[in-house]
Every structure is written in C-alpha cells, then in structure tokens.
Chains A and B, each alone.
Chain A
Amino acid sequence: MANLLVLLWSLALGCLFSLTDAVLVNEIGKNDFALQLVGRVQQMHIDHSTTSVYVLSDRHFLASLGLENGEIKWRQLVSPETSVFVNEGANLLMTLERDSLIASLWNSKTGSLLLQKQVDCGTNVVPTSTGFACINQDMHSVAVFSKQNSTFSVKNIDTPTEIIGVGVDGDDIWTVSLEEDDVHALPLGQSAVHSKSLLANVPASKHEKGSDLKIHLLWQGLVIWSKENTVYAQQPIIESEPVKLFDGAWKSLRLCVHDNVRASVDVYLSDENDSAVFLSVSVDEQGRPIVINTSVLPVGKLTSYTFTENGRYSVHVLEDGTLEAFAGDKQLWNREESMAYVADSFMVGLPERDELSKLVQQEESHSFPFFSRLMRHLKALPQLSLTKIMEPKGQSDAFDSILIIASTTGNLFALDTRQNQKSYISWKKVLAPYPSNVRSWLLNPATRDYDVAVVAFVAEYPNETIYFELNAFTGDILFQERLPYTPEDYFVIENTNNDTRSVTVAAVNNAAIVITNKGLEANRSLSDTVFTRTRDHIVSGLVLQPDLTFIEKWRFPFTEDEQVLKVVKRNPKEMIPSVARVLHNRNVIYKYLDPNMITVFTKRSNTLHIYVLNAVSGALLYSTKHTNLPESINLQAVMSENWLLYSFWSDVPNLSTKVVSAEFFESDKPNEKLPLDNYVSGDVNAYVPYVVTQSYIMPKDIISMGLTNTAQGITSRDVLLGLSTQQLAMLAQPYFNPRRPLLPPKAKNKDSTLIPYEPVLPMEDQTVLSYNLRVYNLTQISSHPSVYESTTLVFACGHDIFYTKVAPSLPFDMLSTAFDKRQLLLTTFAIFLGVIFTRPMVRLKLLKQKWY
C-alpha cells in the first residue's frame, strides 16, 4: 500500500512538473519577432553579380533584397525625391536627391555610405562605368561625374546640337538629339558628322519623314516610337532594326520607366475597348531591343517590373505594394509590402489560450481550487508522453496571438505568431482595392459559447461603403454588406449574451442603421447608453431613440478656432485591481474611477487645451492648458484607470518633448472618499475628482504611446513608447507618478514607495524592447494580456512590425530560466528508486538488531 502511494505521488509530481512549462525565456526570437518592410517599390534593379535586388520605395527606403529568398540584406533611409543608379560591376550604388542635388555613393554589398557630395546636375541622369552623366540646364552640354577616391570630379562636355537624351553603351556615352522628325545619336565629344539617324535602318516602306511619326520615349538610348497603329522600339546608338512591339488599333499608350534600369521600359497600350495590353521592352546582349514575355504578369495591377538581361529572373510590384519574384514561371518569393501601410491594427487572443484562462478562472471560484487543478492535471495524464515530460521548455501558446493588420490599400492580414519566422502570415484578404479610407476593429473576441473572433473591416469610397465581418482565425467572410452611402460614425454595441455577436451601428444623418444582420434585441439596453461623437470642433453625446434616431444629449462648447486634435478614453476591458492607492504609511487615497471619463485635446493658435469630461453628461471635470507651443506639437496620449498621460512638443524653455502625468483621486485627504452612494449616475455633479499633475522632459521624441495590460491588472501598467529613433521602449509606471516628491539635494526620502522627482525621464538601454533592431515608424502600439498575470503581449506596427512579450513587474508567476526540469525529474526518480531498493535492506537490518 505504501509503495503504491509513493508511486502515485511520484506520478502526480511528474505530471505537475511536466505541465509546468511557464519559463520566461528572454532571448531574441523566443516568442517575439520583427518584420522589416520597405514599402511600395518604385525603382528596382536586379544585380546578378551579388544576386540582389536593389529597390527604392515610396517610403524612401533604399534596400538590397536577396534575389533567391527576398530577405532584406540591408536598408537605408534616403531623402524624398531620390533616384538610384546602379554600377553593377563596381558594387556601387549611386543616389541623387533631385531637390537638393546631393549625390551619394553606397556600397551595394553592405549598404554603407561611401561618399556624399552636392553636385550641379541637370536632367536625364544615366549611370556610367565610373559615375553618372546628365544633361546640363542649357541642353547643349553633358556633365560627366566620376568617382575619384573620396570625391566626385565633374567634366562638362559641349555638344554641337540641342540634346534631349543621354545613352550609354559600354564605356561610351551617347547623346541623342531630335532633328526634323528624326532622332540622331552622337558619341559624346565627337563632331556632328559621326551622328547616326534613328530611322536610317527602318525600311522605307515603314516610314515617311514628316508623316505622323511620334517619339513616345527616349530613355538611355532606347526609343519607343509609333507610326500610325504600329509601335516600335529601337536602340539608335547601335545600328539595329526597329522591333515591332504592337500592331493593331490602340487608343492610348502609357509608358513606365525605371530610372535605374538600363533599357527597361514598360509599355501599356489600351485599345478602343479599354482592354490593356502590357509589354516590357529591354535590350539583349548586343543592345538590340527585345520584348519580354509577360504572360505571368497580372495585367492591369502591375506598377513596376524588372528582370535580368537573360530573362531568367523577374521581379514585379503589384498596385497594393506586393513584391513578387519569379524564376521563369515559378514564383520564388513574395513580400507583402502593403502591411507597411497600416490603417488599424489589433490583437486577437487564441481560442485555446482563452479557453485555458477561463478554465483557470472557473477553478479559482471553486471551494477547493487546488483539487480542481489536480483533477485537471490527472485528466491530462493519459495524453502525457515521455518526450513531453522530458521537453525542457515548451511554452505552448502562452505567449502567442493573432495579429490583425488592416492596410490602407484595402487588404486585411492575419499574422499568427505560432508559425515559423518565414511565413507569419496566416491569411490575407484583398477585400477592397483602392479605398479612400479604411477602418477595422475587433467586433467580438472568441468566447466559450461563441468560439469565433470576429473582425469588422470597412472600406470607404466616395459614394459607397463596403462592410465585412470576418472570422479572425480563418479569414472566412461571415457577413458582407455594400452600403450606398458613407456613414459619419460607427458604433459597436456589445452583446450581453455570450452566444451572440456584437452589433455594428452606422450613423447617417442622425439615423442609426444596424449593419450587422442580427438585430439589437439580444443586446444591452440602450436607454442608459450614451454615444459620443467627435468632429473637428465638436464633441457631443447622443442618445438613441426607439425609432433608431440619434438625439443630441450634450455638446461641449468649443470655440470656432479651437480644433479637436485627439480624444482618448479608458480601455473598457481593463481590470481594476484596487479602488485606492496605498500610501507609505498604509493609508489610502481613493482613485477616481469613472469609466465614462474622456479626455479631449484641442489646439487654438499656439495653445494646447486639455478637457476631461464625463461622457454621460458632458460635465467638465478638469481642464488645463499649455501655451507657447510650436506649430506642430506631436501629441500622444493614453488613459488608464485614474491616470492620464500625454506628451507634446514644447518651446518652453527650449524645444523638447514634454510628458505630463495627471492622476485623479476622490479626495486629497487620506482614507477619505466622496460621500456618495455606491451607485453613481453620470448626471451627479458632486462626483468630481481631485487631480495631481506633474510634468517631465523626455530625452527622445515619442511617436506613439501605449500601456501594458494584464488579465487581473495587478502587474504594474508600464508605458510603451514608440520612439523616433526607430525603437520600441518601455518605461516603468513609477517614473510617471505625479506624486514623486520634490526633494532638496541629499534630503532623505520619507516615502520609499516613490522615486524622488527628477525632471528628465531616464531612457536607459534596458528600456528598449527592440534590442538592436531598427523598427521604423511604430505609430500604433497595442497590448494584450497573456495567460500569465506577469506578462503582457505587445504588438507595434506602422511601417515595420514588432511583436514581443514583456513582464513589467518581472516574471513573478513563472519559473526562471535556471530551472532545469529534466534534472529535477531525474533526481525525483532517483530518490524514488533509492527508497524502493533500500527499503528491504533497512527491514533486514532492523530484524537483525532485534536478534542481537
């Protein structure tokens, strides 16, 4: 019997430890990832020598992508209006900023900047073997820039005639001029007698000088011209026959040129029926024009296209920014660059994890939670395998999530953090092309009774709106509605029963239209619901009548020249762990916890106004203002519990980022609360806060702000900051506490719970969550509770995407990385075996002792 008990105990212990997999591993790539993007590519060039694709995007990224896998080798941010030129053999990239005429030379392998210099450069820039050449402003000379050691040398060469283009053939530079409906090519620096006529090699039957010959393009020596309905491509520098591109009826011709790509031109022809024909023209090894087979290309959606000279590889850009690479007809890779254009983003909890957290919560409510947990573990025992027991660190789905990104290009992406790093995208939906505005939100999280998380997606067009409801886990469209109008506002009315979805209500001319196909019957009583609406100069509260019309209940009187910049409110899902804040002497000050509190930021001339309102009655609870601000103030704000935090640029005393923290309490005296009933109506005017504020200086620019969020709210709510230094940082909440005492030097701090006040917030290296990565333009930060109270899942996006987990108050409910489960299990097993084997020996010894 005793042996049986020992055996059972060992099994139970092993079972418990095998399921104890909550080990926080703070390593790069462990439950976190970063997706680096470049944006919609505008110029690109394939470099065969380094198997790279050099791209320049509309987000001003100059990047090198691997030709075989599409991964970013390096990327650099360049100025707007930049063109890039490639010197393939010399491993050099040149960029020219067209507005400031600054030429930069880059190492194409490493992306390092070798040289930067202001040049006096004109139009029609082409790369040469030693630098680049361009036509000067007078159109009668060519400037040839050559790299010499650490600088550029410039050589101006005059031409006998007015030139319209420059071309390069090997080491030779050619100028091209237009004379009497013919094009002449002339080697640079030679007399006019060496010029060649474009039409010299064209059979006489195909053209007649002075007829309807049209020169459509002249670029780097390649000429696209048409006569009547026939379109030709010709390289006049070498003596070649023109190549017929198209022969038939066409109405319009559109050409797309890649600045960097030598002799690569996309030709779009549309006929009478507006059906488009796409052609891409390049030159072969002898310099003759060739037409690339474009059968694999989706005609009509393509914006840019390039290929290797032998035609083996091709890379093209779709209109939504997707970058695709082909080897022949086989797709090598694609990059979803439209994720860089984020309209809305949020996280959705995994159904299994939510299920587990609900199970744990139910167990806690039992009379004997320990036995409930034990029973659950014993039930899981049959599925237990030896490999699972010996697995040292299996974190299951504790730190995983579904990330939803709605792009301004009309796409909806779901990223599953459980997947491997190469294919995080769980599903992608191209829902509405070219919308004027996109909005998306989580309509319904997954619940026990309704195990589908529902995402709402709205694409607005000038005269219509398309509304979608999708399953967040599969991407299936659950509901779709085409509205012949553009709603002014959308409201989500949450369900009260677990088996029904929340409902989206659109407001159109003060009329409420229930978009979702389910009615409002199953939902919350609307008689005590106030809807808030924000306009440029107005913030108002509405009530919904039984006939589904909105009536204005209150309106806050802003002046005409006062513009509403931002409205922030509390997260309605956040847990309040305590109704009061405990002081060092164990007294308390009661928090002002009005869930209907909103903060409105307005700007009038150079003054920022802050109004804290009760959204039920529109009553002003608190207001303040900051004066002498610059024109752009870069306002960021968050609100949680009884706490408001906002940052802005200030000119006083000098230009810096200021952070203001305001905490709302019921009274300034300890242990005292407002003498009101526990049931508070928004119309009670006596419920007003006592506000404590403090301001700080942030040494870095803030571009976005968020707060960590945990299941029970016990863990510290630290502040997540997207920085202009392309980093994501987290700063502890105590630094923003407005009650930090202002002490003279060397004075003793009486309240050890508060850090003494210092005007500059400490931004140390440990505060950066994105380690050594540059994650660009993180304008949206969202957080989601994990299964463990200590840990928050953080998702930041804007251009790049970064996902990680943080433990603001350290991982207090998890085992440390030093915990070795394998060693513990082996030790327990060894002790068990020791007990089994030594037991008869001990019995024998005791028996012998009785005899002697």
Chain B
Amino acid sequence: MSINDEKYWIKNFAKASGAATVTSKKTKVLTTDACGPAGYDTAFNMQMSKKKQISENNAIKEAQQVLIMKKAWELATSPLKQVPMNAIMAYMSGNSLQIFSITMTVMLVWNPLKAITRTRKSFQPFINATYQKLMQPMVAYVLCQCVLMLIAFFKLNWMGLLPTTTSDWIAWEKPREFTEHVVHSIH
C-alpha cells in the first residue's frame, strides 16, 4: 500500500487521533468522543477558528484581485511589446507602393483597429474585477494599440499617402481668373 493512498492516510489519521473519522472524500464529519484537556474551551476555540477562516478567505480574495489587475495590466501593455518588431518590419518593407509594403501597412492599421473594437472581449477573463478598476488597463490597452497604429501612420506618411502637404490639396485649389480676354490677329 502506497503512502499516497488517500484512503489509507485518512484511515491512519483517524486511528491516531481516535477522535475523527472520514466517511467520504467530499464530506467530512468530525466526531468528538474524548473530552478536551482542562481549561480547553471547545466552543471558543471553534468560534476563533471560524473567524480565522473568514479572514483567510478575505486575504485570498484580495490576492486574487491583485493578481487579476496585474494580469489585466499585462494584457493592457502587451501591444507595446510588438512596437519594436512592427517598427522594424515597417522600415524593412520599404516606402514604395508594392504588394508587400501595402499589405504590411494595411495590417498595421487594421490589427490595432480590430483590437480596439474587441477590447471588452479581450478583458472578459478579468470581468470579475471591479469595472472601475478595469477601466484603467482598458484605456491603457487602447492607448497602446494607438501607439501601434502610430507606426502605421508614420509608415503611411513615409509612403506619401497622408495628405499632409500642399501638393495633396492642389487639385482643390482654384486657378486664378483673368478678367480680360485677348484676340490675336490671324498670322
């Protein structure tokens, strides 16, 4: 018989204490056959034990909250880890209008946009936390995605696709109108 056999270990323990028996794995019945030592107040002791259990439970819950928030912040700042890679890829793909650079730029714009629209879904595992507390990492997450998108805008600018210069708006500029008209003699 192995020491790891749960039934065997409980049985021995029951025998050793002589006070407790375990009927099943899931339900535990504590029976007291022997009297406590002198001065030992069983009722008091049980009350204290309950209080201790409650405080322990609270501590566990708080620790869980902290852990959740930590994980939420990790998720919120995770896009920043992609910044160096995306920046290098954006630089390497070149500024000419080719299928690779165009695909790359579209991805750089599209992925952050997609991520921002799915922010709530991304933070679904942490939804047990207080919504107000979760707002901060969510905002941070959106901002980080914006940083990623910024690379895309830089890339668009390098490619000359952003209408930021006078030449981009020259087609809308009205030509000068001349009030007089000249008729030249034939030959």
A679 CA / B165 CA spacing, docked (Å): 25
Are B182 and A582 closer than 8 Å at their CB atoms? no
B44 touches A (CB below 8 Å): no
Residues of A within 8 A of B165 (CB): 586-588
A578 touches B (CB below 8 Å): yes
A524-557 at interface with B (beta carbon < 8 Å): 524, 528-534, 541
B179 to chain A, nearest CB (A): 5
A492 CA / B178 CA spacing, docked (Å): 20
* Closest residue of A by beta carbon distance from B163: A586
Interface of A is mostly: strand
Are A531 and B183 closer than 8 Å at their CB atoms? yes
Contact A529 B181, CB 8 Å, known A586-B160, A586-B165, A586-B168: yes
Name the interface size band of chain B. Answer: 20 to 34
B177 touches A (CB below 8 Å): yes
Binds B, one of A201-209, A317-325, A594-602, A779-787: A594-602
B184 to chain A, nearest CB (A): 5
Contact A680 B177, CB 8 Å, known A490-B186, A491-B185, A616-B182: yes
Residues of A within 8 A of B175 (CB): 576, 579, 593
* Closest residue of B by beta carbon distance from A530: B182
Name the interface size band of chain A. Answer: 35 or more
Query: Out of B167, B174, B179, B181, which one reaches A582, CB within 8 Å?
Result: B167
A659-700 at interface with B (beta carbon < 8 Å): 671, 676, 678-682
A591-623 Cβ-contact flags toward B at 8 Å (1 or 0) = 001111010000000000000000110000000
* Closest residue of B by beta carbon distance from A544: B183
Query: Out of A493, A532, A587, A682, which one reaches B167, CB within 8 Å?
Result: A587
A598 CA / B182 CA spacing, docked (Å): 10
* Closest residue of B by beta carbon distance from A671: B166
A580 touches B (CB below 8 Å): yes
A667 to chain B, nearest CB (A): 13
Residues of B within 8 A of A533 (CB): 185
Among A533, A583, A586, A671, find the residue whose CB has the most chain B CB atoms closer than 10 A: A586
Residues of B within 8 A of A441 (CB): 186
Are A532 and B182 closer than 8 Å at their CB atoms? yes
Residues of A within 8 A of B173 (CB): 579-580
B170 touches A (CB below 8 Å): yes
Residues of A within 8 A of B167 (CB): 580, 582-583, 586-588
A569 touches B (CB below 8 Å): yes
Residues of B within 8 A of A284 (CB): none
Query: Out of B160, B171, B176, B183, which one reaches A491, CB within 8 Å?
Result: B183
A392 CA / B59 CA spacing, docked (Å): 84
Are B176 and A678 closer than 8 Å at their CB atoms? yes
A478-498 at interface with B (beta carbon < 8 Å): 489-493
Are B180 and A489 closer than 8 Å at their CB atoms? no
Residues of A within 8 A of B185 (CB): 489-491, 507, 531-534
B187 touches A (CB below 8 Å): yes
A439 touches B (CB below 8 Å): yes
Query: Out of A529, A578, A678, which one reaches B171, CB within 8 Å?
Result: A578
* Closest residue of B by beta carbon distance from A682: B180
A359 CA / B108 CA spacing, docked (Å): 43
A679 CA / B176 CA spacing, docked (Å): 6
Contact A492 B186, CB 8 Å, known A587-B165, A593-B176, A671-B166: yes
Residues of B within 8 A of A493 (CB): 183
Are A439 and B187 closer than 8 Å at their CB atoms? yes
Query: Out of A580, A598, A680, A682, which one reaches B184, CB within 8 Å?
Result: A598
A423 to chain B, nearest CB (A): 31
A524 CA / B185 CA spacing, docked (Å): 17
Residues of B within 8 A of A586 (CB): 160, 165-168
Are B176 and A529 closer than 8 Å at their CB atoms? no
A580 CA / B173 CA spacing, docked (Å): 10
Among A490, A534, A579, A593, find the residue whose CB has the most chain B CB atoms closer than 10 A: A579
Are B182 and A491 closer than 8 Å at their CB atoms? no
A530 CA / B186 CA spacing, docked (Å): 14
A524 CA / B174 CA spacing, docked (Å): 23
A543 to chain B, nearest CB (A): 10
Contact A530 B171, CB 8 Å, known A489-B186, A490-B186: no
Residues of B within 8 A of A541 (CB): 182
Are A595 and B178 closer than 8 Å at their CB atoms? yes
* 8 cross-chain pairs, A with B, having the tightest CB-CB distances, nearest first: A489-B185, A586-B165, A490-B186, A615-B182, A582-B167, A616-B180, A596-B182, A682-B180
- A-side interface residues toward B, CB under 8 Å? 439, 441, 489-493, 507, 524, 528-534, 541, 567, 569, 576, 578-580, 582-583, 586-588, 593-596, 598, 615-616, 671, 676, 678-682
15 other contacts beyond A531-B185, A586-B168, A596-B180, with CB at 8 A cut-off?
A489-B185, A491-B183, A491-B186, A529-B182, A530-B180, A530-B181, A532-B182, A532-B185, A569-B182, A578-B170, A580-B173, A586-B167, A588-B166, A680-B179, A681-B180
19 A-B residue pairings within 8 Å (CB atoms): A439-B186, A489-B185, A489-B186, A491-B184, A530-B183, A532-B185, A569-B182, A576-B175, A582-B167, A582-B170, A587-B165, A588-B167, A588-B170, A596-B178, A596-B181, A598-B182, A679-B178, A679-B179, A681-B179
